[in-house]
Homo-oligomer: A and B are copies of this chain.
Amino acid sequence: MNKQSSSAPSPRTRIRRLAEKANYEQQTLYAVIDEAYLCNIAFNDGTSTHCIPTACWRIGNALYVHGSNGGRLTKNLLAGTQVSIAITHLDGLVLARSAFNHSMHYRSAVIYGTFELVEDKQAKIAAMDALMDKIAMGRKHEARPGNDKELAATSVMRIALEEAACKISNGPPSDDEEDLQLPVWAGVLPMSIQHGEPIHADNGALATPEYVKNWAQ
Protein backbone atom coordinates (compact mmCIF):
# COMPACT_ATOMS: atom_id res chain seq x y z
CA MET A 1 0.00 0.00 0.00
CA ASN A 2 1.20 3.47 -0.79
CA LYS A 3 1.43 5.94 2.03
CA GLN A 4 -1.14 8.33 0.64
CA SER A 5 -2.87 6.35 -2.02
CA SER A 6 -6.36 7.31 -3.11
CA SER A 7 -6.87 4.16 -5.16
CA ALA A 8 -7.22 0.48 -4.28
CA PRO A 9 -4.06 -1.67 -4.43
CA SER A 10 -5.91 -4.46 -6.30
CA PRO A 11 -9.29 -5.15 -7.93
CA ARG A 12 -10.53 -7.19 -4.97
CA THR A 13 -9.82 -4.39 -2.50
CA ARG A 14 -11.63 -1.77 -4.55
CA ILE A 15 -14.70 -0.74 -2.57
CA ARG A 16 -17.73 -0.43 -4.83
CA ARG A 17 -20.61 -0.11 -2.36
CA LEU A 18 -20.60 3.35 -0.70
CA ALA A 19 -17.27 4.03 -2.43
CA GLU A 20 -17.13 7.52 -0.92
CA LYS A 21 -16.35 5.86 2.43
CA ALA A 22 -13.34 3.97 1.04
CA ASN A 23 -9.88 4.85 2.35
CA TYR A 24 -6.66 3.34 1.01
CA GLU A 25 -4.17 5.32 3.10
CA GLN A 26 -1.55 3.49 5.12
CA GLN A 27 -2.03 5.61 8.26
CA THR A 28 -5.75 4.86 8.29
CA LEU A 29 -5.06 1.13 8.04
CA TYR A 30 -2.45 1.32 10.81
CA ALA A 31 -4.83 3.21 13.11
CA VAL A 32 -7.62 0.64 12.61
CA ILE A 33 -5.21 -2.23 13.37
CA ASP A 34 -3.49 -0.56 16.32
CA GLU A 35 -6.80 -0.03 18.12
CA ALA A 36 -7.87 -3.66 17.60
CA TYR A 37 -7.09 -6.60 19.85
CA LEU A 38 -8.80 -9.09 17.55
CA CYS A 39 -9.04 -9.78 13.84
CA ASN A 40 -11.18 -12.27 11.91
CA ILE A 41 -9.22 -14.50 9.53
CA ALA A 42 -11.06 -16.16 6.63
CA PHE A 43 -9.43 -19.05 4.79
CA ASN A 44 -10.46 -22.11 2.81
CA ASP A 45 -8.87 -25.40 3.81
CA GLY A 46 -9.84 -27.19 0.60
CA THR A 47 -13.07 -28.49 2.07
CA SER A 48 -14.64 -25.58 3.94
CA THR A 49 -14.30 -21.85 4.31
CA HIS A 50 -13.61 -20.80 7.90
CA CYS A 51 -13.76 -17.51 9.80
CA ILE A 52 -11.69 -17.53 12.97
CA PRO A 53 -11.21 -14.66 15.43
CA THR A 54 -7.74 -14.34 16.92
CA ALA A 55 -5.47 -11.81 18.63
CA CYS A 56 -3.54 -9.48 16.32
CA TRP A 57 -0.95 -6.75 16.49
CA ARG A 58 1.21 -4.71 14.12
CA ILE A 59 4.95 -4.22 13.71
CA GLY A 60 5.93 -1.90 10.86
CA ASN A 61 4.11 -2.84 7.69
CA ALA A 62 2.97 -6.30 8.85
CA LEU A 63 0.09 -7.72 10.86
CA TYR A 64 1.06 -10.44 13.35
CA VAL A 65 -0.91 -13.32 14.85
CA HIS A 66 0.13 -16.35 16.86
CA GLY A 67 -1.21 -19.81 17.50
CA SER A 68 -0.38 -23.19 18.93
CA ASN A 69 1.63 -25.28 16.49
CA GLY A 70 -0.91 -28.02 15.97
CA GLY A 71 -3.95 -25.79 15.67
CA ARG A 72 -6.11 -25.72 12.54
CA LEU A 73 -5.60 -22.01 12.01
CA THR A 74 -1.80 -22.25 12.37
CA LYS A 75 -1.53 -25.22 10.03
CA ASN A 76 -3.60 -23.52 7.33
CA LEU A 77 -1.83 -20.18 7.59
CA LEU A 78 1.59 -21.86 7.39
CA ALA A 79 0.47 -23.85 4.34
CA GLY A 80 0.44 -20.53 2.47
CA THR A 81 -3.34 -20.40 2.19
CA GLN A 82 -4.70 -17.16 0.79
CA VAL A 83 -6.52 -15.29 3.54
CA SER A 84 -8.84 -12.36 3.98
CA ILE A 85 -8.79 -10.59 7.32
CA ALA A 86 -11.46 -8.24 8.65
CA ILE A 87 -11.12 -5.81 11.55
CA THR A 88 -14.04 -3.56 12.48
CA HIS A 89 -14.63 -0.94 15.14
CA LEU A 90 -18.30 -0.09 15.66
CA ASP A 91 -18.64 3.56 16.71
CA GLY A 92 -22.36 4.13 16.71
CA LEU A 93 -25.82 3.66 15.26
CA VAL A 94 -27.06 6.22 12.74
CA LEU A 95 -30.80 6.92 12.93
CA ALA A 96 -32.11 8.49 9.75
CA ARG A 97 -35.63 9.77 9.11
CA SER A 98 -36.37 6.82 6.83
CA ALA A 99 -35.92 3.17 7.76
CA PHE A 100 -33.91 2.53 4.60
CA ASN A 101 -31.23 5.13 5.42
CA HIS A 102 -30.41 3.85 8.90
CA SER A 103 -26.74 2.91 9.11
CA MET A 104 -23.76 2.73 11.47
CA HIS A 105 -20.59 4.57 12.29
CA TYR A 106 -17.64 2.22 11.82
CA ARG A 107 -13.99 1.95 10.89
CA SER A 108 -13.14 -1.29 9.14
CA ALA A 109 -10.18 -2.83 7.35
CA VAL A 110 -9.98 -5.85 5.07
CA ILE A 111 -6.55 -7.31 4.31
CA TYR A 112 -5.63 -9.94 1.69
CA GLY A 113 -2.51 -12.05 1.26
CA THR A 114 -0.66 -14.97 2.80
CA PHE A 115 1.06 -15.39 6.14
CA GLU A 116 4.68 -16.36 6.66
CA LEU A 117 6.28 -17.92 9.71
CA VAL A 118 8.55 -15.78 11.88
CA GLU A 119 11.38 -18.29 12.08
CA ASP A 120 14.23 -16.30 13.61
CA LYS A 121 14.14 -16.76 17.38
CA GLN A 122 15.06 -13.17 18.23
CA ALA A 123 12.46 -11.83 15.79
CA LYS A 124 9.90 -14.18 17.33
CA ILE A 125 10.72 -12.97 20.86
CA ALA A 126 10.56 -9.35 19.68
CA ALA A 127 7.17 -10.00 18.11
CA MET A 128 5.79 -11.54 21.32
CA ASP A 129 7.20 -8.57 23.27
CA ALA A 130 5.34 -6.24 20.91
CA LEU A 131 2.10 -8.09 21.67
CA MET A 132 2.81 -7.67 25.40
CA ASP A 133 3.49 -3.96 24.88
CA LYS A 134 0.12 -3.65 23.18
CA ILE A 135 -1.65 -5.37 26.08
CA ALA A 136 0.18 -3.36 28.76
CA MET A 137 3.23 -1.19 28.13
CA GLY A 138 6.08 -2.23 30.41
CA ARG A 139 4.62 -5.57 31.43
CA LYS A 140 7.15 -7.54 29.37
CA HIS A 141 9.75 -6.56 32.01
CA GLU A 142 7.60 -7.96 34.84
CA ALA A 143 5.90 -11.15 33.71
CA ARG A 144 7.95 -14.32 33.47
CA PRO A 145 9.21 -14.45 29.85
CA GLY A 146 8.36 -17.40 27.67
CA ASN A 147 10.80 -20.27 28.09
CA ASP A 148 12.18 -22.37 25.24
CA LYS A 149 9.42 -24.95 25.52
CA GLU A 150 6.67 -22.32 25.46
CA LEU A 151 8.24 -20.47 22.55
CA ALA A 152 8.68 -23.71 20.63
CA ALA A 153 5.01 -24.61 21.09
CA THR A 154 3.84 -21.31 19.58
CA SER A 155 3.95 -20.20 15.97
CA VAL A 156 4.22 -16.47 15.27
CA MET A 157 3.07 -15.48 11.79
CA ARG A 158 2.98 -12.22 9.86
CA ILE A 159 1.26 -10.91 6.76
CA ALA A 160 2.48 -7.89 4.81
CA LEU A 161 0.07 -4.95 4.75
CA GLU A 162 0.25 -4.55 1.00
CA GLU A 163 -3.22 -5.43 -0.22
CA ALA A 164 -5.79 -3.81 2.02
CA ALA A 165 -8.64 -1.34 2.11
CA CYS A 166 -10.43 0.58 4.85
CA LYS A 167 -13.95 1.87 4.99
CA ILE A 168 -14.81 4.70 7.35
CA SER A 169 -18.34 5.84 8.14
CA ASN A 170 -18.60 8.76 10.56
CA GLY A 171 -21.04 11.29 9.11
CA PRO A 172 -24.52 12.49 10.07
CA PRO A 173 -27.64 10.64 8.89
CA SER A 174 -27.91 10.68 5.12
CA ASP A 175 -31.56 11.26 4.38
CA ASP A 176 -33.30 11.70 1.07
CA GLU A 177 -34.10 15.34 0.33
CA GLU A 178 -37.85 14.74 0.53
CA ASP A 179 -37.56 13.15 4.00
CA LEU A 180 -35.72 16.01 5.69
CA GLN A 181 -38.88 17.73 6.87
CA LEU A 182 -40.46 14.63 8.38
CA PRO A 183 -41.09 14.97 12.14
CA VAL A 184 -38.75 12.06 12.92
CA TRP A 185 -35.80 12.36 15.31
CA ALA A 186 -32.51 11.86 13.49
CA GLY A 187 -29.00 11.59 14.84
CA VAL A 188 -26.27 9.27 16.04
CA LEU A 189 -26.16 6.98 19.07
CA PRO A 190 -22.40 6.70 19.78
CA MET A 191 -20.65 3.57 21.03
CA SER A 192 -17.11 3.11 22.33
CA ILE A 193 -15.02 0.68 24.35
CA GLN A 194 -15.07 1.33 28.08
CA HIS A 195 -12.34 0.09 30.42
CA GLY A 196 -13.76 -1.32 33.64
CA GLU A 197 -12.25 -1.58 37.12
CA PRO A 198 -9.37 -4.10 37.14
CA ILE A 199 -10.07 -7.40 38.87
CA HIS A 200 -7.16 -8.41 41.11
CA ALA A 201 -6.34 -12.13 41.16
CA ASP A 202 -4.10 -11.87 44.21
CA ASN A 203 -6.19 -10.01 46.80
CA GLY A 204 -4.02 -6.91 46.62
CA ALA A 205 -0.95 -8.64 48.07
CA LEU A 206 1.24 -7.11 45.37
CA ALA A 207 1.70 -3.48 44.37
CA THR A 208 -0.58 -2.51 41.51
CA PRO A 209 1.36 -1.53 38.35
CA GLU A 210 0.72 1.88 36.82
CA TYR A 211 -0.82 0.37 33.67
CA VAL A 212 -3.39 -1.39 35.87
CA LYS A 213 -4.08 1.74 37.96
CA ASN A 214 -4.55 3.76 34.77
CA TRP A 215 -6.70 1.18 32.99
CA ALA A 216 -10.13 2.42 34.05
CA GLN A 217 -9.35 6.12 33.67
Query: Do A146 and B187 have beta carbons less than 8 Å apart?
Result: no
The stretch from A22-30, A86-94, A115-123 touching chain B is A86-94
Q: Which residues from chain B contact A6 at a C-beta distance below 8 Å?
A: none
Copy number of this protein in the oligomer?
2
A86 to B16 CA separation, bound complex (whole angstroms): 23
A residues 173-217 touching B (CB-CB < 8 Å)? 173, 179, 182-202, 206-209, 212, 215
A201 to B191 CA separation, bound complex (whole angstroms): 17
Per a CB cutoff under 8 Å, which of B55, B99, B144 touches A97? B144
Contact flag A195-B191 (CB < 8 Å), given A44-B49, A48-B12, A49-B82: yes
Query: Do A92 and B185 have beta carbons less than 8 Å apart?
Result: no
A12 to B46 CA separation, bound complex (whole angstroms): 13
**Is residue A20 within 8 Å, beta carbon to beta carbon, of the partner chain?**
no
Query: Do A99 and B132 have beta carbons less than 8 Å apart?
Result: yes
Query: Do A110 and B52 have beta carbons less than 8 Å apart?
Result: yes
**Is residue A17 within 8 Å, beta carbon to beta carbon, of the partner chain?**
yes
A48-B82, A136-B189 known; 16 new pairs, CB 8 Å cut-off, are: A41-B51, A51-B84, A52-B86, A52-B110, A92-B196, A99-B143, A99-B144, A142-B185, A185-B208, A185-B209, A186-B201, A187-B212, A189-B196, A190-B199, A191-B193, A193-B193
Interface of A with B (CB < 8 Å)?
12, 16-17, 37-38, 40-44, 48-53, 55, 68, 71-72, 82-86, 88, 90, 92-93, 95-100, 102, 104, 106, 108, 110, 112, 128, 132, 135-136, 139-140, 142-147, 150, 154, 172-173, 179, 182-202, 206-209, 212, 215
